[in-house]
């Protein structure tokens, strides 16, 4: 429950956003752009990243701990910005939490089902997200005749974190990963991992103009705005100047996190605090 001594109205409480690390900042960035009055509490699990190679049980346990941490900060809703955590843990979180929870998989799947013309959709993501089959399941529930081709692209995450967004090495690796999807004649490609929107132009130039790229980070912010409006939870009041509406927490390496965050978000990240997530 939201503590009324802290926020006058529930709608003024922050949105909790979490990811395995820095990648979820692509989702936080979209929320900041689309809902500039909202406060955000972001948690990046930098001590335990990556999630993409871990089991469903582990990722679900981590996700539940983080949800408890975010709830201790009075969040009004939780955004599971990590595709892998969304794919593995969203149903458990929905069952356990008494506040609205939204993941990135459903909004991305919905947009892909909407925009495809030939019904052939590619999904690129971590091994975990592809293995979960959740993108396929959601797309099929909306468009029965769709054919979904999943492709794990494990090297993209470290390349993005190294800042090699348009480097020839990234272009070459992207070509190797994506050629089979081009050969399969897909017309829509879901960027099903937090990091991939940052190499969107590299991916787009390889796939060509005929392929629509779907960015779940963007679609999630659109869906979140709708959800908050439906539940009367949209914040109509601009947070007062100097009130630091964006707060960042990590489980390790706060300084490195801050540097990466400042390279992709134009609002200055004033600080990032390290906490012990195992306590939650
Ligand atoms: N955030 C993860 C995702 O979107 C990618 C990084 C990881 O493997 O933890 O799936």
Domain ranges across the chain:
4-103+219-279, 106-216
- Active-site residue, 153 included: no
Percentage above 90 pLDDT, the chain: 91
| Active-site residue, from 31, 82, 105, 109 | 82
Q: Can you tell me the mean pLDDT for 19-26?
A: 97
Q: Are strands 120-125 and 101-103 parallel, antiparallel or unpaired?
A: unpaired
Contact of 224 with 198, CB cutoff 8 Å = no
Question: Which segment of 185-189, 209-213, 237-241, 275-279 scores lowest on mean pLDDT?
Answer: 237-241
CATH topology of domain 106-216: Rossmann fold (3.40.50)
Atom nearest to 23 CA in ligand 1: 1
- Active-site residue, 82 included: yes
Distances (CA, A) of 71 to 24, 126, 238, 239, 250: 18, 27, 22, 20, 15
How far apart CA 228 and CA 56 sit, in angstroms, is 28
pLDDT at 221: 98
Atom nearest to 194 CA in ligand 1: 4
Q: What are phi and psi of 179, to 5 degrees?
A: -55, -40
Residue with tokens 């149903």: 91
Residue with tokens 């940052």: 198
Mind listing the pLDDT tens digit for each residue in 45-80? Answer: 999 999 999 999 999 999 999 999 999 999 999 999
- For the domain bounded by 4-103+219-279, which CATH number is listed? 3.40.50.1860
What pTM did the predictor assign? 0.96
């Amino acid at each position: 429950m939201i503590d009324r001594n802290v926020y006058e109205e529930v709608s003024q409480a922050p949105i909790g956003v979490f990811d395995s690390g820095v990648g979820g900042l692509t989702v936080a960035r979209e929320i900041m752009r689309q809902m500039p009055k909202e406060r955000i509490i972001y948690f990046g699990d930098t001590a335990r990243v990556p999630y993409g190679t871990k089991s469903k049980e582990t990722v679900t346990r981590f996700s539940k701990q983080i949800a408890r941490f975010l709830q201790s900060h009075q969040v009004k809703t939780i955004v599971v910005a990590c595709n892998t955590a969304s794919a593995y843990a969203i149903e458990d979180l929905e069952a356990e939490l008494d506040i609205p929870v939204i993941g990135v998989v459903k909004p991305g799947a919905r947009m892909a089902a909407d925009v495809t013309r030939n019904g052939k959709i590619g999904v690129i993501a971590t091994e975990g997200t592809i293995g979960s089959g959740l993108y396929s399941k959601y797309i099929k529930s909306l468009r029965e005749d769709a054919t979904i081709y999943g492709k794990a692209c494990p090297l993209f995450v470290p390349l993005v974190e190294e800042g090699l967004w348009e480097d020839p090495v990234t272009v070459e690796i992207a070509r190797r990963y994506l050629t089979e999807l081009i050969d399969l004649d897909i017309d829509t490609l879901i960027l099903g991992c937090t990091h991939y929107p940052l190499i969107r132009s590299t991916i787009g130039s390889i796939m060509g103009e005929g392929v629509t790229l779907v960015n779940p980070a963007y679609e999630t912010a659109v869906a979140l705005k709708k959800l908050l409006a439906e539940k009367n939870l949209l914040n109509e009041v601009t947070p007062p100047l100097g009130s630091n509406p964006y707060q960042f927490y990590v489980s390790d390496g706060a300084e490195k996190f801050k540097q990466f965050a400042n390279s992709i978000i134009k609002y200055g990240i004033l600080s990032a605090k390290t906490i012990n997530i195992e306590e939650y």
